[in-house]
Protein backbone atom coordinates (compact mmCIF):
# COMPACT_ATOMS: atom_id res chain seq x y z
CA UNK A 1 0.00 0.00 0.00
CA UNK A 2 1.29 3.44 -0.95
CA UNK A 3 0.02 6.31 1.20
CA UNK A 4 0.53 9.99 0.41
CA UNK A 5 -1.08 13.30 1.32
CA UNK A 6 -0.21 14.59 -2.16
CA UNK A 7 -1.85 13.92 -5.51
CA UNK A 8 -1.11 10.31 -6.46
CA UNK A 9 0.01 10.58 -10.09
CA UNK A 10 -0.40 7.02 -11.35
CA UNK A 11 1.00 6.02 -14.73
CA UNK A 12 -0.13 2.63 -15.98
CA UNK A 13 2.61 1.04 -18.05
CA UNK A 14 2.67 -1.95 -20.35
CA UNK A 15 5.85 -2.46 -22.31
CA UNK A 16 6.39 1.29 -22.50
CA UNK A 17 9.99 1.45 -21.35
CA UNK A 18 11.17 3.82 -24.08
CA UNK A 19 8.08 6.00 -23.80
CA UNK A 20 8.60 6.44 -20.06
CA UNK A 21 12.31 7.10 -20.51
CA UNK A 22 11.31 10.00 -22.78
CA UNK A 23 8.39 11.52 -20.88
CA UNK A 24 8.71 10.51 -17.22
CA UNK A 25 11.49 13.03 -16.50
CA UNK A 26 9.14 15.99 -17.07
CA UNK A 27 6.48 14.44 -14.84
CA UNK A 28 8.95 13.81 -12.01
CA UNK A 29 10.56 17.23 -12.32
CA UNK A 30 7.37 19.27 -12.47
CA UNK A 31 5.20 17.32 -10.02
CA UNK A 32 7.34 16.91 -6.91
CA UNK A 33 5.73 19.72 -4.90
CA UNK A 34 2.12 18.59 -5.31
CA UNK A 35 2.37 15.01 -6.50
CA UNK A 36 3.73 11.57 -5.72
CA UNK A 37 4.64 9.79 -8.98
CA UNK A 38 3.72 6.10 -9.14
CA UNK A 39 4.16 3.68 -12.02
CA UNK A 40 1.84 0.68 -11.99
CA UNK A 41 3.25 -1.94 -14.32
CA UNK A 42 0.77 -4.17 -16.17
CA UNK A 43 3.01 -7.23 -16.41
CA UNK A 44 5.55 -5.73 -18.83
CA UNK A 45 8.12 -7.95 -20.52
CA UNK A 46 10.35 -5.24 -21.99
CA UNK A 47 12.49 -4.53 -18.93
CA UNK A 48 10.41 -1.54 -17.84
CA UNK A 49 10.72 -2.30 -14.13
CA UNK A 50 14.49 -2.73 -14.24
CA UNK A 51 14.84 0.55 -16.13
CA UNK A 52 12.63 2.38 -13.62
CA UNK A 53 14.52 1.04 -10.62
CA UNK A 54 17.83 2.08 -12.13
CA UNK A 55 16.97 5.43 -13.73
CA UNK A 56 14.02 6.71 -11.63
CA UNK A 57 14.63 5.62 -8.01
CA UNK A 58 12.36 8.44 -6.78
CA UNK A 59 9.33 6.88 -8.50
CA UNK A 60 7.14 4.45 -6.54
CA UNK A 61 6.52 1.13 -8.28
CA UNK A 62 3.42 -1.09 -8.22
CA UNK A 63 4.13 -4.28 -10.20
CA UNK A 64 0.96 -6.07 -11.33
CA UNK A 65 1.19 -9.80 -12.22
CA UNK A 66 -0.36 -9.53 -15.70
CA UNK A 67 -1.78 -7.14 -18.30
CA UNK A 68 -5.23 -6.27 -16.97
CA UNK A 69 -5.86 -3.65 -19.64
CA UNK A 70 -6.25 0.07 -19.04
CA UNK A 71 -9.46 -0.05 -17.02
CA UNK A 72 -8.87 -2.96 -14.66
CA UNK A 73 -5.15 -2.15 -14.45
CA UNK A 74 -6.01 1.19 -12.91
CA UNK A 75 -8.60 -0.40 -10.63
CA UNK A 76 -6.03 -2.89 -9.32
CA UNK A 77 -3.38 -0.20 -8.89
CA UNK A 78 -5.56 2.37 -7.13
CA UNK A 79 -6.76 -0.27 -4.69
CA UNK A 80 -3.17 -0.09 -3.41
CA UNK A 81 -2.96 3.71 -3.19
CA UNK A 82 -4.30 6.05 -0.50
CA UNK A 83 -4.35 9.73 -1.44
CA UNK A 84 -6.86 12.61 -1.48
CA UNK A 85 -6.67 12.77 -5.28
CA UNK A 86 -5.71 10.34 -8.01
CA UNK A 87 -4.33 11.55 -11.32
CA UNK A 88 -4.44 8.93 -14.06
CA UNK A 89 -1.69 9.88 -16.50
CA UNK A 90 -0.72 8.19 -19.76
CA UNK A 91 2.93 7.27 -20.21
CA UNK A 92 3.14 9.36 -23.39
CA UNK A 93 2.40 12.69 -21.70
CA UNK A 94 4.87 15.56 -21.26
CA UNK A 95 4.08 18.24 -18.69
CA UNK A 96 5.44 21.77 -18.13
CA UNK A 97 6.33 23.51 -14.91
CA UNK A 98 3.31 24.44 -12.77
CA UNK A 99 0.91 22.08 -14.52
CA UNK A 100 -0.66 20.62 -11.37
CA UNK A 101 -1.34 23.64 -9.18
CA UNK A 102 -4.30 25.15 -11.12
CA UNK A 103 -6.17 21.83 -11.10
CA UNK A 104 -5.47 21.26 -7.42
CA UNK A 105 -6.54 24.80 -6.47
CA UNK A 106 -9.77 24.44 -8.45
CA UNK A 107 -10.64 21.09 -6.86
CA UNK A 108 -9.90 22.42 -3.38
CA UNK A 109 -12.21 25.39 -4.00
CA UNK A 110 -15.04 23.38 -5.61
CA UNK A 111 -16.00 20.35 -3.53
CA UNK A 112 -18.97 19.70 -5.86
CA UNK A 113 -16.53 18.74 -8.64
CA UNK A 114 -15.45 15.10 -8.79
CA UNK A 115 -12.87 15.23 -11.56
CA UNK A 116 -11.00 17.53 -13.91
CA UNK A 117 -8.49 17.56 -16.73
CA UNK A 118 -5.89 20.00 -18.04
CA UNK A 119 -5.94 21.51 -21.50
CA UNK A 120 -4.53 18.70 -23.61
CA UNK A 121 -2.31 19.71 -26.51
CA UNK A 122 -0.46 17.63 -29.07
CA UNK A 123 3.08 16.77 -28.04
CA UNK A 124 4.04 16.51 -31.70
CA UNK A 125 2.62 19.94 -32.59
CA UNK A 126 2.08 21.99 -29.47
CA UNK A 127 0.09 24.68 -31.22
CA UNK A 128 -2.81 22.25 -31.71
CA UNK A 129 -5.17 20.42 -29.40
CA UNK A 130 -4.75 16.68 -28.96
CA UNK A 131 -7.47 14.34 -30.17
CA UNK A 132 -7.95 12.35 -26.95
CA UNK A 133 -9.31 15.16 -24.80
CA UNK A 134 -8.48 18.65 -26.11
CA UNK A 135 -10.19 21.12 -23.75
CA UNK A 136 -12.82 18.75 -22.42
CA UNK A 137 -15.38 16.22 -23.59
CA UNK A 138 -19.07 16.24 -24.58
CA UNK A 139 -21.40 13.80 -26.35
CA UNK A 140 -24.24 13.83 -28.84
CA UNK A 141 -27.58 12.04 -28.47
CA UNK A 142 -26.32 8.83 -30.08
CA UNK A 143 -23.11 8.40 -28.12
CA UNK A 144 -20.59 10.15 -30.36
CA UNK A 145 -18.02 11.95 -28.19
CA UNK A 146 -16.42 15.26 -29.13
CA UNK A 147 -14.34 17.95 -27.43
CA UNK A 148 -13.77 21.64 -27.13
CA UNK A 149 -11.13 21.76 -29.84
CA UNK A 150 -11.92 18.51 -31.69
CA UNK A 151 -14.93 17.20 -33.62
CA UNK A 152 -14.35 13.76 -35.12
CA UNK A 153 -10.88 13.98 -36.74
CA UNK A 154 -10.89 17.79 -37.11
CA UNK A 155 -8.52 19.14 -34.47
CA UNK A 156 -8.33 22.90 -33.90
CA UNK A 157 -5.32 25.11 -33.41
CA UNK A 158 -5.11 26.41 -29.84
CA UNK A 159 -5.61 30.18 -30.06
CA UNK A 160 -6.89 30.63 -26.52
CA UNK A 161 -10.50 30.15 -27.63
CA UNK A 162 -11.14 27.58 -24.88
CA UNK A 163 -9.10 29.08 -22.07
CA UNK A 164 -12.08 29.33 -19.75
CA UNK A 165 -12.92 26.67 -17.19
CA UNK A 166 -15.79 24.60 -18.56
CA UNK A 167 -18.16 21.98 -17.21
CA UNK A 168 -17.95 18.72 -19.15
CA UNK A 169 -19.61 15.37 -19.57
CA UNK A 170 -16.24 13.62 -19.58
CA UNK A 171 -12.58 14.35 -18.96
CA UNK A 172 -9.82 12.60 -20.83
CA UNK A 173 -8.27 9.44 -19.39
CA UNK A 174 -4.90 10.64 -20.67
CA UNK A 175 -4.71 13.06 -17.73
CA UNK A 176 -7.67 12.57 -15.41
CA UNK A 177 -7.61 14.00 -11.89
CA UNK A 178 -10.33 12.56 -9.67
CA UNK A 179 -11.12 12.71 -5.97
CA UNK A 180 -10.35 9.34 -4.42
CA UNK A 181 -13.66 9.49 -2.56
CA UNK A 182 -15.61 9.83 -5.81
CA UNK A 183 -13.51 7.14 -7.46
CA UNK A 184 -14.27 4.65 -4.70
CA UNK A 185 -17.96 5.52 -4.38
CA UNK A 186 -18.49 5.19 -8.14
CA UNK A 187 -16.63 1.89 -8.36
CA UNK A 188 -13.82 3.23 -10.54
CA UNK A 189 -13.44 2.21 -14.18
CA UNK A 190 -15.41 -0.68 -15.64
CA UNK A 191 -12.79 -3.40 -16.06
CA UNK A 192 -14.95 -5.26 -18.59
CA UNK A 193 -14.25 -2.49 -21.10
CA UNK A 194 -10.53 -3.42 -21.06
CA UNK A 195 -9.63 -0.17 -22.86
CA UNK A 196 -11.35 2.75 -24.64
CA UNK A 197 -14.47 4.66 -23.49
CA UNK A 198 -13.94 3.63 -19.85
CA UNK A 199 -13.23 7.19 -18.67
CA UNK A 200 -16.33 8.50 -20.47
CA UNK A 201 -18.43 5.85 -18.76
CA UNK A 202 -16.98 6.77 -15.35
CA UNK A 203 -17.51 10.49 -15.87
CA UNK A 204 -21.07 9.98 -17.16
CA UNK A 205 -21.90 8.01 -14.02
CA UNK A 206 -20.48 10.77 -11.85
CA UNK A 207 -22.34 13.50 -13.74
CA UNK A 208 -25.63 11.60 -13.55
CA UNK A 209 -25.20 11.48 -9.79
CA UNK A 210 -24.85 15.25 -9.60
CA UNK A 211 -21.06 15.51 -9.44
CA UNK A 212 -19.14 17.97 -11.61
CA UNK A 213 -16.50 17.32 -14.28
CA UNK A 214 -14.45 20.27 -15.57
CA UNK A 215 -11.52 21.30 -17.73
CA UNK A 216 -9.07 23.66 -16.03
CA UNK A 217 -7.18 25.10 -19.04
CA UNK A 218 -4.67 26.97 -16.88
CA UNK A 219 -3.18 23.49 -16.45
CA UNK A 220 -1.59 22.16 -19.64
CA UNK A 221 -0.26 18.75 -20.71
CA UNK A 222 1.13 17.51 -24.03
CA UNK A 223 -0.01 14.10 -25.24
CA UNK A 224 1.44 11.97 -28.03
CA UNK A 225 -1.67 9.80 -28.43
CA UNK A 226 -2.17 6.46 -30.16
CA UNK A 227 0.66 4.88 -28.19
CA UNK A 228 -1.26 1.68 -27.43
CA UNK A 229 -3.38 1.21 -30.57
CA UNK A 230 -3.12 3.42 -33.64
CA UNK A 231 -6.19 4.93 -35.31
CA UNK A 232 -7.58 2.47 -37.85
CA UNK A 233 -6.42 -0.59 -35.92
CA UNK A 234 -9.28 -3.15 -36.05
CA UNK A 235 -8.81 -3.98 -32.37
CA UNK A 236 -9.30 -0.30 -31.53
CA UNK A 237 -12.37 -0.14 -33.78
CA UNK A 238 -13.82 -3.19 -32.04
CA UNK A 239 -13.25 -1.80 -28.53
CA UNK A 240 -14.58 1.66 -29.40
CA UNK A 241 -17.81 0.37 -30.97
CA UNK A 242 -18.48 -2.33 -28.37
CA UNK A 243 -17.67 -0.17 -25.36
CA UNK A 244 -19.62 2.79 -26.69
CA UNK A 245 -22.72 0.61 -26.94
CA UNK A 246 -22.15 -0.82 -23.47
CA UNK A 247 -21.71 2.69 -22.08
CA UNK A 248 -24.97 3.83 -23.68
CA UNK A 249 -26.80 0.82 -22.28
CA UNK A 250 -25.42 1.46 -18.79
CA UNK A 251 -26.19 5.17 -18.64
CA UNK A 252 -29.02 6.26 -20.95
CA UNK A 253 -32.25 7.42 -19.27
CA UNK A 254 -35.06 4.89 -19.58
CA UNK A 255 -37.07 6.80 -22.19
CA UNK A 256 -34.03 7.24 -24.46
CA UNK A 257 -32.68 3.70 -24.49
CA UNK A 258 -34.79 2.08 -27.21
CA UNK A 259 -34.94 5.02 -29.68
CA UNK A 260 -31.23 5.74 -29.35
CA UNK A 261 -30.26 2.09 -29.77
CA UNK A 262 -32.48 1.73 -32.85
CA UNK A 263 -30.75 4.66 -34.53
CA UNK A 264 -27.32 3.45 -33.43
CA UNK A 265 -27.93 0.10 -35.10
CA UNK A 266 -28.40 1.83 -38.44
CA UNK A 267 -25.50 4.21 -37.90
CA UNK A 268 -23.19 1.30 -37.09
CA UNK A 269 -24.32 -0.50 -40.24
CA UNK A 270 -23.50 2.62 -42.26
CA UNK A 271 -20.05 2.80 -40.63
CA UNK A 272 -19.41 -0.88 -41.40
CA UNK A 273 -20.52 -0.44 -45.02
CA UNK A 274 -18.20 2.56 -45.38
CA UNK A 275 -15.27 0.41 -44.26
CA UNK A 276 -16.31 -2.30 -46.73
CA UNK A 277 -16.62 -0.09 -49.82
CA UNK A 278 -13.20 1.42 -49.10
CA UNK A 279 -11.67 -2.05 -49.00
CA UNK A 280 -11.10 -2.10 -45.24
CA UNK A 281 -12.49 -5.57 -44.58
CA UNK A 282 -10.77 -5.92 -41.19
CA UNK A 283 -12.54 -2.88 -39.72
CA UNK A 284 -15.81 -3.92 -41.40
CA UNK A 285 -15.57 -7.20 -39.50
CA UNK A 286 -14.57 -5.35 -36.30
CA UNK A 287 -17.82 -3.36 -36.27
CA UNK A 288 -19.96 -6.48 -36.69
CA UNK A 289 -17.92 -8.34 -34.10
CA UNK A 290 -18.40 -5.42 -31.69
CA UNK A 291 -22.18 -5.47 -32.08
CA UNK A 292 -22.28 -9.25 -31.66
CA UNK A 293 -20.13 -9.05 -28.52
CA UNK A 294 -22.30 -6.22 -27.17
CA UNK A 295 -25.41 -8.39 -27.46
CA UNK A 296 -23.64 -11.30 -25.80
CA UNK A 297 -22.50 -9.17 -22.86
CA UNK A 298 -25.82 -7.38 -22.23
CA UNK A 299 -27.07 -9.69 -19.45
CA UNK A 300 -23.91 -8.95 -17.44
CA UNK A 301 -24.74 -5.24 -17.47
CA UNK A 302 -28.42 -5.30 -16.48
CA UNK A 303 -27.68 -4.83 -12.75
CA UNK A 304 -25.24 -2.03 -13.54
CA UNK A 305 -27.87 -0.21 -15.57
CA UNK A 306 -30.47 -0.48 -12.83
CA UNK A 307 -27.94 0.64 -10.22
CA UNK A 308 -26.94 3.67 -12.28
CA UNK A 309 -30.56 4.69 -12.88
CA UNK A 310 -31.33 4.38 -9.17
CA UNK A 311 -28.47 6.72 -8.25
CA UNK A 312 -29.00 9.19 -11.10
CA UNK A 313 -30.47 12.58 -10.30
CA UNK A 314 -33.76 12.98 -12.20
CA UNK A 315 -33.26 9.63 -13.90
CA UNK A 316 -30.14 10.87 -15.68
CA UNK A 317 -31.97 13.58 -17.63
CA UNK A 318 -30.94 17.18 -17.99
CA UNK A 319 -27.20 16.89 -18.54
CA UNK A 320 -26.38 19.97 -20.65
CA UNK A 321 -23.14 18.40 -21.88
CA UNK A 322 -25.12 15.84 -23.90
CA UNK A 323 -26.51 17.58 -26.97
CA UNK A 324 -29.93 16.38 -28.14
CA UNK A 325 -28.79 16.27 -31.76
CA UNK A 326 -26.81 14.06 -34.12
CA UNK A 327 -23.17 15.10 -34.41
CA UNK A 328 -22.96 13.20 -37.69
CA UNK A 329 -25.75 15.35 -39.13
CA UNK A 330 -24.21 18.56 -37.85
CA UNK A 331 -20.78 17.61 -39.20
CA UNK A 332 -21.60 16.12 -42.60
CA UNK A 333 -24.85 17.90 -43.54
CA UNK A 334 -24.29 21.32 -41.95
CA UNK A 335 -20.51 21.47 -42.17
CA UNK A 336 -19.89 22.18 -38.48
CA UNK A 337 -16.24 21.34 -37.83
CA UNK A 338 -15.47 23.48 -34.78
CA UNK A 339 -16.84 23.23 -31.26
CA UNK A 340 -17.44 26.99 -31.12
CA UNK A 341 -19.93 26.66 -34.00
CA UNK A 342 -22.18 24.36 -31.97
CA UNK A 343 -25.14 25.83 -30.11
CA UNK A 344 -26.41 23.98 -27.05
Query: What does the pLDDT average to over 311-329?
Result: 93
Question: 228 pLDDT band (50/70/90 cuts)?
Answer: low
- Average of per-residue pLDDT across 186-215: 97
Nearest partner of 59 among 67, 48, 72, judged by Cα = 48
CA 7 to chain centre: 19
Tens of pLDDT, residue by residue over 148-186, are 999 999 999 999 999 999 999 999 999 999 999 999 999
Q: Which CATH superfamily is domain 1-91 in?
A: Spore Coat Polysaccharide Biosynthesis Protein SpsA; Chain A (3.90.550.10)
Virtual torsion, Cα 11, 12, 14, 15, nearest 10 deg: 10
Share of the chain above pLDDT 70, in %: 98
**Beta bridge mates, 40:** 12, 62
In this predicted structure, the answer to whether residue 329 has a pLDDT above a threshold of 70 is: yes
CA distance 326 to 152: 13
**Mean model confidence pLDDT for the chain:** 95
pLDDT at 227 exceeding the cut of 60? no
pLDDT tens per residue, range 260-270: 999 999 999 99
Q: What is the pLDDT of residue 231?
A: 67
Nearest of 68, 300, 21, 322 to residue 170 by alpha carbon: 322
Query: 116-132, pLDDT tens digit by residue?
Result: 999 999 999 999 999 99
How far is residue 315's CA from residue 309's CA, in Å, rounded to a whole number? 6
Average pLDDT (8-25) is 95
Segments making up each domain of the chain, as ranges: 1-91, 92-344
What average pLDDT does the segment 38-44 reach? 95
Amino acid sequence: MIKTDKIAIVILNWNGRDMMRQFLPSVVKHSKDEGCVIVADNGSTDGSLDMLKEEFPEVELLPLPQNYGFAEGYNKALDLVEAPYYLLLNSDVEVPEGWLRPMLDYMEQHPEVAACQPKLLSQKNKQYFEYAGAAGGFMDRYGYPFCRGRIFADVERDEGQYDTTAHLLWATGAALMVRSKDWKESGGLDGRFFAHMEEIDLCWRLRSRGRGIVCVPQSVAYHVGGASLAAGNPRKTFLNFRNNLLMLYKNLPADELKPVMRVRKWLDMVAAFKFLITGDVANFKAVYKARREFRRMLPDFEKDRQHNLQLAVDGGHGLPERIDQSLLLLYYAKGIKRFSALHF
